[in-house]
């Protein structure tokens, strides 16, 4: 098994401006970015966060990894990218907001006034994020299937 899959540089001790795994996870949680601990190196590699290995104390365990603290601009880029990924925590929150807004628009509409495309467009305008008629169809089929004749 490869012990250094990202070919990280090794240092004697943790440099200034770097956090170890637990500290970095807490730092990300403060910034509202939730990531699994076992997925952290892949996450950092994918988002261009610098990583280093440093000498461990004792003989047991793996070589510890430290992560460079990203600046505010980088944090904002990561949050934006995760927002549009439906498998991330931020993305799932956004999908829930979209679903609520779809149901709200559908419930407020009178008969034959709205279509799936027009609901998707209103959600996009109000939330400022992409929404398509496939999501509208799925949400309405799951939650309002008996009232679908209300659409155009």
Task: Give the pLDDT of residue 142.
Answer: 93
Task: Give the pLDDT of residue 89.
Answer: 83
What does 3-46 look like in DSSP terms, one character per residue? Answer: S-TT---EESSPPTTEEEHHHHHHHHHHTT----GGGHHHHHHH
Whether pTM exceeds 0.85: no
Q: What is the largest CA-CA distance in the chain?
A: 72
pLDDT, averaged per 10 consecutive residues of the chain (152 residues), comes to 67 86 93 87 91 81 86 93 84 92 91 89 92 92 86 82
Task: Give the pLDDT of residue 3.
Answer: 67
Domain ranges in the chain are 10-83, 89-150
Task: Give the pLDDT of residue 1.
Answer: 44
């Amino acid at each position: 098994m490869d012990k250094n899959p990202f070919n990280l540089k090794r240092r004697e001790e943790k440099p200034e401006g770097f956090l170890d795994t637990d500290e970095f996870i807490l730092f990300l949680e403060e910034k509202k970015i939730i990531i699994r601990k076992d997925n952290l190196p892949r996450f950092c590699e994918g988002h261009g966060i610098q990583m280093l290995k440093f000498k461990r104390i004792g003989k047991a365990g793996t070589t510890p990894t430290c992560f460079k603290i990203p600046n505010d601009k980088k944090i904002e880029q990561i949050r934006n990218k995760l927002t549009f990924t439906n498998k991330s925590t931020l993305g799932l929150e956004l999908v829930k907001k979209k679903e609520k807004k779809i149901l709200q628009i559908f419930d407020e509409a009178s008969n034959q006034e709205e279509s799936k495309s027009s609901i998707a467009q209103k959600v996009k305008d109000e939330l400022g994020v992409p929404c398509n008629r496939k999501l509208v169809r799925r949400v309405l089929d799951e939650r309002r299937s008996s009232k679908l004749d209300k659409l155009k």
